[in-house]
Amino acid sequence: MNAFLIAKLMDISEKAYQGSRRLRYIKLCIFFSGLSVFAQLYLFQPILPMAAENFHVSVGDTSLLVSSSTIGMALGLLFFAFKADSYSRKRLMVFSLISSSLLTIISTWIPSLGILIGIGAFKGFVVSGVSAVALAYLTEEVQAAAVAATISMYLSGNTIGGMSGRILATLLAGEFGWRNAVLIIGIESLILGVIFWKLFPESRFFTPQKTDYHQKVKQMKLFLTDSYMLRLYFIAALLMGVFVSIYNYLTFRLEDKPFSLSHFIIAFIFLMYIFGVVGTMIVGKLSKRYPANNILKGSILFMLLSILLLLSKNIFILISGLGLFTLSFFAAHTMASQMTTLYAKRGKSSATSIYWLFYYFGSSVLGSGTGYLLHGFSWEVFVAILMICIILALLLATAHPSVKK
């Protein structure tokens, strides 16, 4: 009995460690949070052609259904950079997951594209509460030896959420119409939010505190004037913008000649997101053996090489290129986000919020801007511009010193 009590007290006082029940719940719930957020955030991406036809608008206009959510996410992250530490970590994430799923459900009955875009922006703002504090929670509550694996679990949830949301949206939209697809994904996200609410452990090593705005501004200014962090932020913006651009408009490319693929076949193209999970796993292992910045540079270089394959008119070469491109992007993103978190000794929530701010602004600006570019020119010009963005990211990483541990 005494041994049991001692073990119980030690478990309460310690951070979540490998093999503990607390860490298992953290991993499961943080995975579910990523699953919900990204299923909702990008559910319109594969059904943009249907939305364009329904609302009688251009490719670039319908892309605002995706970009509005990511713009809202960016603005929310800016807000939570100041306010996140004022709230309970768990309560903020629960509120974000439940309210965003309700907004997704409401979207089903909105008849106007403009209002739908507005709801998307608000949903992005609300759901940003998860991204604003998730990484900070993990570094606060999980032992150092298990942090990398737990962050990889969170990012894997993001990846699988993005993949499943896109596949489900495409299949359901083809069978039941795009509005019913949105409804089903909203209900699924609500269920995940309730599970998170019931199982996710409360913080033990963080207490909500009144925001010191002067201190927050000072921290953010410090990160935004730090060349190491600033380069990471711009790398995140460029790479995410390129990634979202490819997945936004690849559906249009595959529907057109010479491919002329059906919605059913195109849905399974998003299975390439599985390679994103592989990318995060590879990075988790390589980071124990090689310098972080070397892994980042290698990942970006593979992105550059693989995007060339997307110019092919052979469907098998194109799909192979998409798989390698997806793996490389998630490897680079996982590495950059870990480098950001580890470098910020203080003000981790501010550092990670700024990272996500750049990440989603890159998604919004490039994600919509390249749509108008594709509409006005060709797929080849579109890919060439994205290659320039990747080269810029590679140059930033090459000038980037490795993080000092």
Burial pattern 308-334, b for ≥16 Cβ within 10 A else e, equals: ebbeeeeeeebbbbbbbbbbbbbbbbb
Whether 50 is covered by a domain: the verdict is yes
Whether 292 is covered by a domain: the verdict is yes
Q: What are phi and psi of 34, to 5 degrees?
A: -65, -40
The answer to whether the peptide bond before residue 201 is cis (omega within 30 degrees of 0) is: no
Whether 1 is covered by a domain: the verdict is no
Whether 199 is covered by a domain: the verdict is yes
pLDDT of residue 404: 45
Which of the pair, 54 or 118, is modelled with greater confidence? 118
Q: What is the distance between the alpha carbons of residues 222 and 210, in angstroms, rounded to a whole number?
A: 21
pLDDT of residue 5: 47
Evaluate if residue 8 carries a pLDDT over 80: no
Q: What residue numbers bound the domain in which 316 lies?
A: 16-398
pLDDT of residue 216: 76
Whether 134 is covered by a domain: the verdict is yes
Q: Give the model's confidence band at 126: pLDDT under 50 very low, under 70 low, under 90 confident, else very high.
A: very high
The count of structural domains within the chain is 1
When pLDDT is averaged across residues 201-206 and rounded to a whole number, the result is: 87
* Domain CATH code at residue 169: 1.20.1250.20
pLDDT digits (tens, 9 = 90+) for 297-311: 999 999 999 999 999
Whether 7 is covered by a domain: the verdict is no
Whether 2 is covered by a domain: the verdict is no
Evaluate if residue 90 carries a pLDDT over 70: yes
Q: How far is CA 214 from CA 74, 211, 302, in A?
A: 21, 9, 42
Whether 8 is covered by a domain: the verdict is no
pLDDT digits (tens, 9 = 90+) for 9-60: 444 557 877 778 888 899 899 999 988 998 898 888 888 878 888 888 876 7
Q: What is the distance between the alpha carbons of residues 155 and 141, in angstroms, rounded to a whole number?
A: 17
| Cβ neighbours, 10 Å, residue 6 | 10
pTM score over 0.85: no
* CA 106 from centroid of its chain's CA atoms: 23
Which of the pair, 13 or 226, is modelled with greater confidence? 226
pLDDT digits (tens, 9 = 90+) for 266-307: 878 878 878 887 887 888 788 778 888 899 999 999 999 999
pLDDT digits (tens, 9 = 90+) for 154-198: 877 877 887 888 888 888 888 888 899 999 999 999 999 999 999
Evaluate if residue 203 carries a pLDDT over 80: yes
HSE at residue 297, side-chain half, CA atoms within 13 A, is: 13
Which segment of 37-41, 327-331, 374-378 scores lowest on mean pLDDT? 374-378
| The token pair that represents 360 in the structure block | 């989603």
